[in-house]
Structures are given as structure tokens and as C-alpha cells.
Structure 1
Amino acid sequence: MTKFIYPKTGIIILAAGNSSRLGRAKQLLDFEGEKLLQIAIDMAEDSLSNANMVVLGAYKDEIKKSIDFQTSEIIINENWSAGLSSSMKVGLSAMIENHAVDQILIMLSDQPFVNKELLDLIINTQLESGKGIVACRYGDTLGVPVLYTKKYFEELMQLKEKEGAKKVIFNHLDDCEIVDFDQGKTDIDTQEDYDDLLGKKA
């Protein structure tokens, strides 16, 4: 029986945005008795990851008062308004420096159906496939949660401010394994999205 040696995996949860279309911190919205960001942190902690990090920016003080960060490191992106790739690069730099990871798994704070099983599936899929990227498929796109091995760290760090990490996926589709995650299309950008989420819960 083959015994796998897991690469060192760091999970980076991007939670720095100001939720401009919602008008308040979506990281702190309640779903099934928990804040959305707390759900993400708890799932990361329960997974096969070796280190977990949350990137905060807007609402950082409000979020720190409301979320239990005992199992996650907090990194502040003072330049959060530059976009998601800015927060990703801040997190990646800290993850490399503080934890010397072999790969990173990027999560958002507003995909409430991401769970431990999905995160472990992504990590195991990389191990079994040997691919440098494992991305989730939902709707007609590929996206987060997404895993990148360290061969792509430099390319991720070179992304321009308005470019998302998704660009690296599509640059290397031949080195990308896909995990189906239909519920990944549920994220919270507007009050209508949140109302829809609560409707799905009922």
C-alpha cells in the first residue's frame, strides 16, 4: 500500500475587501449560526492544510472583534483597495516567509458551501495527479478554491493589481486538474445574493 507524503500546504483566505456592492462587511454575515469568515476559517483548520492565514484590510478592526482567529494567522493588506490579487500577493509573501510551504490553496470568505471535504479533495487531487494547479469548476468557469504548487508562486507574484489569480489557471490549463464544485457559484456580493442564500437555507 502506497503511503503518500503530503506537500506542505498553506491556505490563504482572502477577506480584505470592503464589500462595496453590499454596503457592509460580508465577512461578518450570518449563515446557519456562524459568520461567513468564521465558517471559512473553521473549514481550513479542519482540513489537511499545515498553515492557515487570513488577509484582512477594510473592516479589519470590526472583523477582529467578531471572529476567532486562534487557528489562523492574520495578515493586513493596507493596499486592499487595489483588488484581490493585491491581497493574494500579501498572503503568499507571508506564507512563503513564515511557513516555507510547497503549495498554497486560495479561498474566499464568501463561499459558504466550501467545506473540509472539498479542501481535502483538492489537496488529494494534486497529490494523485501531480498537476501544478487544481481548480474548481462551477457554471462555465474555473476558480476558487484553487491550489497552486510553488512552481507558480513567482508568476502569481507578478500579477498586475487588477489581474486575478484566475489568469494563471488559464495560462496553464495543460497543468490544471479540475474538481467539480457546483455550489461554488454561490458567493455573496449583493443583498440579493445574501437573501438568496438565506432562502436556500430555509
Structure 2
Amino acid sequence: MHKTATVILAAGSSTRLGLPKQLLAYNGKTLLQHAIDEAAKAGADPIVVVLGFKAEEISETIKRNNVELFINAGWEQGMASGISGGVGKALQLDEKLEQLIITVCDQPFVTASLFNELKKVQRETQQHIVACAYADTIGTPVLFTKKYFSHLQALTGEEGAKKIVKTNMDDVAAVEFSPGEIDIDTVDDYDGLVQTE
């Protein structure tokens, strides 16, 4: 069994929402805490949380002593620096890491069983990227084996991990995750989510 790190991207400023989405409450915990807890339940080691906007305020709300933080000073330049830094931090913590999962904090229906399914499909297919499929696209959470660690660390500007997925489709397996299309970008999104509690 390969040890799997999880990198949780939580550095953005939630401009369309008007307040930090990382701290929105759902089912008794913040969206960020939910992502951390599900990663932990799936046995993630290490768990790296990438923070940027309001990093100090958000870090104070995190309840787990085995979470490592990567504070991305360049968060305003785009997602790439957070991915690159988060992956670098995970490798610094465990240089023998074989695979990692990149996830975000605003997909409220991400679960430990989904993370475990990504790992299972990777073992079964031997593909080096396993992404979630929803709403006619593929995206996070997404598992990468070490074959792509250097690609992730080389991302720049606004580029996200999806660029690597799309340019290596022959090396991608997909896991159906229809609730993945629900993410929280606006007040209306959040209001809709709260009504499902």
C-alpha cells in the first residue's frame, strides 16, 4: 500500500462570496475542517493545507495536530504557486512519497470513501492520474503518482492541475463523482448547501 499525501488548496480570497469560504459552516464544522477530517479518515499522511488569504485567521480554526501548513505568499498570482508549494511541502515531509491527492476546500461532498476510491482505481488501472468526473468535466479531487510531481511543481501563474490532466489524458482514469459539481463560490451556492443539512 502506497502512502498517500493530501494537499488541500485553501488559499483563495473568495471574492465572489465576500467572506472566506474556508470558514463557512456546514454540518457543524467549517468546509476546510471537513476536507481535513475526510483526508485524515482516508489515512492521508501527510496532510498539507495551502493557505494564503487571511492565513493566520484561518489557521487558528484548524483542529488537527497532524496538519502541516504551507503559507503561499504568492497566492494572488494564481493557483499554480499553491499547488507547487503544497507538493513541495509534502515531499519535504516525506521524500519517499509515491502519490498524492490534490483537493479543494469548497467541495462539501468530498468524503474519505471518495479518496479511497481514487487510490483503489489507481491500483487497479495502474494509471498515473486518477481524476473525478462530474458535469462533463474532470477535476478535483485528483490523484497523481510521483511520475507527475515535477510537473505539479513546475506549474506557473493561473495554471491548475487540470492542465496536467488534460495534456496526459492517455494516462488518466476517472472516478464518477456527480456531487463534485457543487462547489461554493457565491452566497446563493452556500444558501443552497445549508438547505441540504
TM-score by length of 2: 0.96
Mapping 1:136-147, distance limit 5 Å:
136-147=132-143
1:65 equivalent to 2:60? Answer yes
Distance 2:49 2:114 in 1: 19
Identity of aligned residues (%): 42
Query: Match for residue 174 of structure 2?
Result: 178
Query: Match for residue 81 of structure 1?
Result: 76
Select between 156-165 and 116-125 the one with higher mean Cα deviation: 156-165
Query: Match for residue 158 of structure 2?
Result: 162
Any unmatched runs of 5+ in structure 2? none
Mapping 1:36-75, distance limit 5 Å:
36-75=31-70
Once the two structures are TM-superposed, the CA of residue 49 in structure 1 deviates from its matched residue by 2.2
1:122 equivalent to 2:122? Answer no
Any unmatched runs of 5+ in structure 1? 1-5
Once the two structures are TM-superposed, the CA of residue 161 in structure 1 deviates from its matched residue by 1.0
Once the two structures are TM-superposed, the CA of residue 9 in structure 1 deviates from its matched residue by 1.1
Query: Match for residue 132 of structure 1?
Result: 128
* Paired residues of 2:7 and 2:103 also in contact (CA < 8 A): yes
* Paired residues of 1:44 and 1:116 also in contact (CA < 8 A): yes
1:50-71 superposed Cα distances (whole Å, 9 cap, x missing partner): 2111011111111122221313
Corresponding residue to 1:189 among 185, 188, 194: 185
1:139-176 superposed Cα distances (whole Å, 9 cap, x missing partner): 01000000011111112222221111101111111110
* Paired residues of 1:135 and 1:145 also in contact (CA < 8 A): yes
Give every structure 1 segment of 4 or more consecutive aligned residues whose post-TM-superposition deviation is greater than 6 Å.
none
* Paired residues of 2:109 and 2:179 also in contact (CA < 8 A): yes
Q: Name the SS of the counterpart of 1:67 in structure 2.
A: coil
Q: Name the SS of the counterpart of 1:66 in structure 2.
A: coil
Corresponding residue to 1:111 among 107, 129, 139: 107
CA RMSD of aligned residues (A): 1.0
Corresponding residue to 2:86 among 85, 91, 95: 91
In the alignment of these two chains, the number of paired residues is 196
Q: Which amino acid aligns with 2:55?
A: K
Q: Which amino acid aligns with 2:89?
A: A
Once the two structures are TM-superposed, the CA of residue 196 in structure 1 deviates from its matched residue by 1.2
Select between 142-151 and 43-52 the one with higher mean Cα deviation: 43-52
Corresponding residue to 2:146 among 136, 147, 150: 150
Distance 1:96 1:47 in 2: 19
Query: Match for residue 12 of structure 2?
Result: 17
Q: Name the SS of the counterpart of 1:94 in structure 2.
A: helix
Distance 2:67 2:115 in 1: 16
Select between 47-56 and 124-133 the one with higher mean Cα deviation: 47-56
* Paired residues of 2:129 and 2:172 also in contact (CA < 8 A): yes
1:34 equivalent to 2:29? Answer yes
